[in-house]
Structure 1
Amino acid sequence: MTDTTATTRLQPGDTAPAFTLMADDGASVSLADYAGGPVILYFYPEAMTPGCTTQACDFRDNLGSLQGAGYTVLGVSKDSVAKLARFREEDHLTFPLLSDEDLTVHRLYGTWGEKNSYGRIVTGSIRSTFVIDADGRISHTFYSTKATGHVAMLRSKLGIS
């Protein structure tokens, strides 16, 4: 049975929900590990699919400018740690990929629910990005984003050349 529990969407100014998840390398990663610096936290539906690979590689290719502006990038999906490790290795990804198999963090951030997938309403992971400031508050929310062009839009909104 599919869980269709609705989740509340976060807004700029909200405190970013705390979490600890396992990363693709088996390490435990907490949002608190990055306190004092800005974080780009993005949720994607499934590792090694065309759209998610495009988006992850776009973050990888722009990581230098994002880090140069002080940002840490973290990717979150419902995939297992083992699948995330393969994804990172195959696409030479250079930032942590976090596993949220039980969807706890997806629900905290409002990224699990109904969405339109090729004209059908389905329940699943909603591609979304959050910018979290150094004080742990959400400064930007982007729900239902497109994989292609998302990083360019994000860089523009954040004033990163």
Structure 2
Amino acid sequence: MSGERDVRKRLAALERRMATLLMLGTAEQNQGAKTKVRFDDAGAAGEPFSSPYLSQASASGKNGSGVSKFTKIGTGESVIVLNPGGEIGQHSRVMSAGPVGDHPSPGASEADGDVTSVGNATFSIKDGEIKGSVGGSSFTITAGAIELKAAAIRLVQG
């Protein structure tokens, strides 16, 4: 009888870990490159719960001549939490879960390239073109030209 009981306990633990490998939540607070996530699913107490501050999944290969990149996850943004081994902890990573209804994507198709939008500033890179804009000012760089549009343009040498 104890062998069957042990197998049932191990199976229940495995099912719990599998259920928490990937978790959907909402970014609740940020501290630098760490995010606290709120999960609306019922936790152990039957109520929604929050994670501790977890590291964001960001590329960081600068010392090996790679690319380091950081993108702030905004409060209220949908996120996915990856929990290796099925436990929330120091090895967990928070990733943006993509656009939602009230926070649409700044790009609409693959042809838009890489588009980043923060407040009223937008920066985009695609094959053959780099664009940036803030409010009513903008620039466009192509292979043959640089176009600047602004109320005032100042060149600073130094």
Please, what TM-score do these two structures have when normalized by structure 2? Answer: 0.25
Between 1 and 2, higher relative CO (CA 8 Å, sep ≥ 6) is seen in 1
Structure that is richer in strand per residue: 2
Q: Which has the higher Rg, Structure 1 or Structure 2?
A: 2
Structure that is richer in helix per residue: 1
Please, what TM-score do these two structures have when normalized by structure 1? Answer: 0.25
